[in-house]
Amino acid sequence: MTNKILALLFFYPFFSTAQNQESRTINYGGEIREYVIYVPSIYTSSNPTPLMFSFHGGGGDGQGMIGLNDMRPIADTANFIAVYPSGAEGAWMHKVPTTYNDIYFVEAIIDALSTEFNVDDERIYACGYSEGGIFSYELACRLSNRIAAVASVSGSMMTDTYRSDPAPNGYGFPVCSPSHPTAIMFIPGTLDMNPHSMYNGLSPYYMSASEISTFWSTQNNTNLSPTVNPVPDVNTSDGSSVERSVWEGGDNCVRVEELKVTGGDHDWPGTFGNMDISASNEIWNFVSKFDINGLIDCNTGNPTSSYGIIDFQNRNILAITDILGRKTKELKNIPLFYHYDDGTVEQKIVVE
**Domains in the chain: boundaries:** 2-314, 316-352
127 forms beta bridges with 54, 151
Report pLDDT for 350: 67
| pLDDT classification of 310: cutoffs 50, 70, 90 | very low
* CATH level 3 topology of 2-314: Rossmann fold (3.40.50)
Report pLDDT for 318: 66
Cα separation, 251 vs 270, in Å, equals 31
- Please report, for residues 168, 218, 282, 313, the alpha-carbon distance to residue 302 in angstroms, rounded to integers and kept in the order given: 50, 25, 21, 12
pLDDT tens digits along 319-342: 776 655 567 877 776 767 666 554
Report pLDDT for 347: 59
- Can you say how many angstroms the Cα of residue 5 is from the centroid of all Cα atoms in its chain? 32
Cα separation, 124 vs 135, in Å, equals 15
Q: Report which of residues 302 and 15 the model is more confident about.
A: 302
Tell me how far apart the terminal alpha carbons of the chain are, to the nearest angstrom: 12
Hey, what amino acid is at 247? W
In degrees and rounded to multiples of 5, residue 340 shows phi and psi of: -110, 160
pTM metric for this prediction: 0.82
Cα separation, 22 vs 35, in Å, equals 9
Residue 19 has pLDDT above 80, yes or no: no
| pLDDT classification of 351: cutoffs 50, 70, 90 | low
Report pLDDT for 98: 86
Q: Kindly give, in sequence order, each residue whose CB lies less than 8 Å from that of residue 285, ignoring residues fewer than 6 positions away.
A: 309, 310, 311, 312
pLDDT tens digits along 236-286: 999 999 999 999 999 999 999 999 999 999 999 999 999 999 999 999 999
Pick left, alpha or beta for residue 204 (phi over 0 → left; psi -120 to 50 → alpha; otherwise beta): alpha
| pLDDT classification of 348: cutoffs 50, 70, 90 | low
**241-267 burial, b for 16+ CB within 10 Å, e for fewer?**
bbebbbbbebebbbbbbbbbbbebbbb
- Please report, for residues 21, 124, 125, 172, the alpha-carbon distance to residue 81 in angstroms, rounded to integers and kept in the order given: 10, 10, 10, 32
Q: CA torsion, points 181, 249, 188, 214, in degrees to nearest 10? A: 70
In degrees and rounded to multiples of 5, residue 139 shows phi and psi of: -65, -40
Per DSSP, the three-state class of 285 is: helix
